[in-house]
Every structure is written in structure tokens, then in C-alpha cells.
Structure 1
Amino acid sequence: MPWSLSGTYLESCNCDVVCPCTTSGLTEPADHERCQVTFAFHVDSGNVDGVDVSGRSVAVFVDAPRVMAEGGWQVALYLDASADDGQAEALGRVFSGQAGGPMAALTPLIGEVLGVERVPIDYRDDGRRHAARVGDAIDVEIQDQVAPQFGEDGPVMTLTGIFHPANSTLTVARSTRATGAGVYGRSWDFAGGNAHSAPFTWSA
């Protein structure tokens, strides 16, 4: 059966602003030895095979080689604990790429699934600030960037024509808070690093 989702997304990684992975279609080396990135999605409206998944959130953590296009990604999937069993199963199929759609384009790059967990996910959009707290594992807040010449109320900077599952246009943003604790043996603080946000509309 066809499915569709729409909502908003945020991303935080350990690259400097702006990361080479995003601007090269994953073909240029990241700024550091590994590319570690968190994607968080909030579904404002969605239906998957007759299951209403509106209001639910999902997060994906990726630990990839410096050149992401080489594959061998290690991935963890976090599903909203407020989702019932049917919603969790539906979201899991979409965000793992099993149901087709944009995430399916990334599945050939995955070498290992670290785990799938159901945890509380607190996702917030507040103007040009976006935040997601994923259980006790990941805590991210990002700020969309504005060229200083335009002042605080100026237009946010964007990247367009990008190969990315969320959207081909992404804001240029910076992580104001980006910590991980015990994420399958990984902990970090990427505050000040690269970030993006965008609306997303998917269907298959």
C-alpha cells in the first residue's frame, strides 16, 4: 500500500560548518576520522499502510567511514516510545528503508545495524532553533544561521540542489548543544559543529 509522511527534521554531526559530506553527495572526506551524525524527524502528518503515525518522532544515528559513499555505515534506529506497536512497526519500516522511499537509497551503504530501540523522543521547533532529546542517549539543539550583514531577522542561509533524504534544500545551521552518552559504546560533544534543518515530505 502507498504511504506518505510530512514533517520537519534536524541533523547534527561532528563536521565543521558546512560539512563536505553534505555538499559533495557523500563523496568527499569528512572533516574528522569518522563521520558521526544524528538525524531526528518529527512526523506532523503521516499514514503508513493505513496506520496513522502523525505526531510521532524518529531518530537515526550513523557512524560512517570518512568518505560516506564507501559504505560500511553502522546505524542505530530510535523509535518514539509514545508510538503503539503498529505505529512503531510502520515507522521502523519507513525509516529503515524497507518500505521504499528516500531512506531506501541509503540502505546499500549500511554495513551493520547497531540496534533498534523504543525511547522517549522530545522534538521541538522554536523558530530558528530546533531540538531533539532521544531518551538518555542523545541531546541536540541547533540554530539556523543568518549572514551577520542581514541582522538577526534576516533570511537563513541554505544549501540547494543537495543529495539528501530529507530535502534537496537544507538550512545552514550550527549545533548549540550536541551530546551523546553511551550510544553503543560512543559518547561525544559536538557543540559548535555542523547542523541542518528542513521540512520533509515523503511518499512511496
Structure 2
Amino acid sequence: MAKDLPEWAIKGELILNCNCTVFCPCVISLGDHPPTEGYCMGWAGIRIDKGNYDGEDLSGLNVGLLLEIPGKMGRGNWKAAAYIDERASDKAYEGLLKVFTGQARGTTGLFKVLVSEFLGAERAPVQFETEGKTRRLTVGKAIRGEISPVPGHGGKDMVITNTEYWMGPDITVAKADKARVRAFGRVWDFDGRSAEICQIDWHGPN
């Protein structure tokens, strides 16, 4: 039961890029609308500004994810892989792995239900950098991504607010300036495709 699982919390920022040609419809439809290409291939980066798992500090660590979804998000049958910051302690590594496979329940518990094939997890140099409004994720030679917000009226960021999206209620609309994935047999190039920026405040097991 959830009450027997360790408590965990993560605050920070998530960036995501997928193969949708325009902004990902999953945010607004909550997965009820299929991706623009009928299937989803994407990567995500998580910067943990403040976090802990069962008393172990996670602050300052980064995580990279690989996601593959064959249709509507809510139908499951996802494939996923995780890259955990090589600076993580053994306990932090195990904790983050449980968080991002859904075993830790809470906000990311849906991974346990929706992911049918976990491709694997690796320790890796995961760099999450911000320069102005541009975010960059570099995971060794596996993921090299750079995204920037799509400017709205007056040059301000275009933000979809007050959503029920699992990642967080406010999603900044972005686009990939560069996006290369070379991992687990996948060779993806998503320059110019849909991207998202989200401030996260996740916790578990409840």
C-alpha cells in the first residue's frame, strides 16, 4: 500500500520535445486526442531544484527520459527509458528510478500503469542548461536537445494555464531549435517540432 512507501518530492522544471508537428494536443485533451502524427516519440529533461526521496537529497540532479507512445496517451502501451544523473548517490539513483518507473506512486504513479516496456535505465552525464529563455538538455551522446518558448502577444511566452495535465497546470508552448536522439536503437531528429516547458511540483506516494 502507498502508506508503506517512502515519501518523496521534486520541485523544478521539465522540458519535453516530441514529434508532433504543432503543439502537442495531449496537454489540452488530457490524452484523449491522438498525437498529430498518430503516435508519439519524444524526450524529456527534468531539472530538480529541490527534492528528496526517503530522506535522501535529490537537489541539483537532472534526469533524462525517452518516451514512445503508440497512439492516444491514455491507452497505455508506452515504452520508456531513463537516464539518471551520474552524480546521484546510490540511494538517490534507486529513488529516482522508482519515481520515474511509477513504483514510488504519487504524481508519476501513472508510469507504472501506462508503460508496458521499460527499455532500461543508465547513469549518464545529464546536463540541463538555461540561457535566456532557451533550455538545453544533453545526455551524453544519447540526447541533444534545445528548445525555446514560442512568443505570443507582445513577445511574452505563450502559456496554457489552469490545465489538469499530469505534469503541472501551466504549460509554456515551445518549439525545438535542435533535437537529436540516438539511443536504444532510436534515431530521431525533431528540429522545429512541438516542445513544452513546465514548472513541476511532484510528490508521493499519495
TM-score range, shorter chain: over 0.9
Structure 1: how far apart are the matches of 2:164 and 2:201?
15
Aligned partners of 2:179 and 2:189 also within 8 Å: yes
- Pick from 22, 41, 46 the counterpart of residue 41 of structure 1: 46
Letter of the structure 2 residue corresponding to residue 157 of structure 1: M
**1:63 CA drift (Å):** 0.7
**1:105 CA drift (Å):** 2.2
Structure 1, unmatched stretches of 5+, are none
State how 1:9-24 maps to structure 2 within 5 Å.
9-24=14-29
State how 1:152-191 maps to structure 2 within 5 Å.
154-181=155-182, 183-191=183-191
Structure 2: how far apart are the matches of 1:87 and 1:7?
16
TM-score (normalised: structure 1): 0.92
Residue correspondences, number: 199
TM-score (normalised: structure 2): 0.91
State yes or no: 1:121 paired with 2:114: no
State how 1:62-77 maps to structure 2 within 5 Å.
62-77=67-82
Q: Any idea what the Cα deviations from partners look like across 1:147-186, whole Å, max 9, x if unmatched? A: 2x51xxx3200112334332111000000011111x2111
Percent of residue pairs identical: 34
Structure 1: how far apart are the matches of 2:132 and 2:168?
19
Structure 2: how far apart are the matches of 1:146 and 1:77?
31
- Pick from 136, 146, 149 the counterpart of residue 131 of structure 1: 136
Q: Any idea what the Cα deviations from partners look like across 1:32-87, whole Å, max 9, x if unmatched? A: 14200111101111111110111101111111112222211011111111112111
Moved over 6 A (4+): none
Structure 2, unmatched stretches of 5+, are 1-5
3-state SS in 2 of match to 1:102: helix
**1:17 CA drift (Å):** 2.2
Cα RMSD between the aligned structures?
Answer: 1.4
Structure 1: how far apart are the matches of 2:108 and 2:67?
13
- Corresponding residue for residue 84 of structure 1: 89
